[in-house]
Each structure stands twice: as C-alpha cells, then as structure tokens.
Amino acid sequence: MGIRALGDVLIAAVEAFAFYPYCLLCERRLGRGRDLVCADCWEALPPAEPQWLRGEDSDFQGPPARFSARFSLWAYSPEVERLIHLMKYRNRPGLARVMGRRVACACSHRFRGERGIIVPVPLHRARKRERGYNQSELLAQELAREIGWSLVAEALARVRPTRSQATLSREERAENVRGAFVVRRREAVQGKRCILVDDVVTTGATANECSRVLLEAGAAEVMLVTVAAA
C-alpha cells in the first residue's frame, strides 16, 4: 500500500470516528448527515395524544390554561425522557437543534402565513451560565427559522431561581413558579400573538405563569409549543 493510499485509509478511519457517531438511543452507527438519533428510533417515538389541544381543553385539573392552544410533538416515553435529559443536563445543545427542527416541521403549517413572535421560556441567569445554553431558546430558534416569526429571546426573564419541578406536586409547582417571570421586552410583546416554547409541559404551571405575564404585558394571544407532553 502506497503512502497516499495508507493516508486515505487513516483519514477514513479518523472520519468514521469523528463524524459518524452512534445513535443516542440504540447505539447503532449513524450514517453521514444523520441527526444524532437513527431513523428507526425517531420513527418509534410516540406522538403526543393529541398533539394539538385548545387551551381550554388542556387537562391540568388546576386553574384554566392562559394559553389558547398547545402543540406537543411527543408523549413522554422513556426514550423521549432520555433525549430531553441529554439535551438539558448532558451538554447536548445540538440535540436541542435537531429536536427543534422536528417540532418546527410538525407544527409549522398552523403558523405559516400568520405573524407573531416566538418567546422561549427563560432559564434563570445563574442556571444558563452553568449550562451554557437555554435549550428552550435553541428550540425556539429552529421554530423561528421554519415559520418566519421573529424570535424575541429576551422577552421574558426568570427573576427568581426555581426548584426543579420534577419532584413537586401540582400545587407545589404552581407555587414554585409564581412571580418567577417578568416581561423584559414589553414593547416587543404588546399586541402580538406569541408562541411560547418550552421543552416539556407537565402540569402547565410554568407555561401558565409565563402566559399570564405576557398577557398582562399586552400580548394578544399566547400559544404553547413543546417537545413533549408528560
């Protein structure tokens, strides 16, 4: 084998390791251009039932939803939970982009041709610094790109650090987020239809609180888009 051929083999081997990662769910080797998860695993993720819901039909058993409609792409299966965990806690901003594209493609037909703004649920400053990114903002960027609405990433701020909602009851969740958010970009929100973007909706406490402050600041309507519904 000549030097050049040997070089080609080495480059191919390095490329294979560097650019052909494994599926995050089944650990099969991915082909070039695959989005972190193999086609079979994407296909197998269960859609939320239903994916679209009017706010008034959201079954949170608590106060009525302040958002008028909600879209969630997937149900909260163990595989979806794993992807969301990787996206939030294992430094995988790329996964947020990939999932954001999937969410955007699945719901864009409802928003295209209309106008409004896209608002990610913010992290507290300290949390964002620690994580390095806000996954909801990355999801929102992909939605903005797909439907052409303006992303207003700083519209909301989380002014009070909140405990993780995961282990809290419905009442505790609502209490935990009360007063946690403020509108920073009032002029950007006034009179606008808003799509609020978050990773998961569970009891709707976070989405409801964000919707409440957006509506109080003069937003015309708030709709919710999430990756998953638990």
Provide the residue type at 136 as one letter: S
User: How near is the Cβ of 138 to Zn ion at its closest, in Å?
Assistant: 22
Helix, coil or strand: residue 47 = strand
User: How near is the Cβ of 146 to Zn ion at its closest, in Å?
Assistant: 24
6 vs 26, beta carbon nearer Zn ion: 26
41 vs 215, beta carbon nearer Zn ion: 41
30 vs 223, beta carbon nearer Zn ion: 30
User: How near is the Cβ of 167 to Zn ion at its closest, in Å?
Assistant: 30
25 vs 103, beta carbon nearer Zn ion: 25
* Nearest residue to 118 via CA among 41, 224, 38: 224
Strand-pair partners of 151: 118
Rounded Cα gap, residues 225 and 196, in angstroms: 6
Pairing of strands 156-158, 150-151: unpaired
What residues make contact with Zn ion under the rule CB under 5 A? 23, 25-26, 38, 41
Whether the Cβ atoms of residue 177 and residue 209 lie closer than 8 Å to each other: yes
23 vs 107, beta carbon nearer Zn ion: 23
41 vs 157, beta carbon nearer Zn ion: 41
User: How near is the Cβ of 45 to Zn ion at its closest, in Å?
Assistant: 10
User: How near is the Cβ of 24 to Zn ion at its closest, in Å?
Assistant: 8
Measuring CA to CA, how many Å separate 20 from each of 37, 41, 182, 216?
11, 16, 43, 48
| CA-only gyration radius of the chain, Å | 20
Q: What strands lie across the sheet with 69-75, from one edge to the other? A: 52-54, 69-75, 221-229, 193-201, 117-120, 150-151
User: How near is the Cβ of 35 to Zn ion at its closest, in Å?
Assistant: 11
Measuring CA to CA, how many Å separate 151 from each of 5, 184, 211, 223?
49, 14, 16, 14
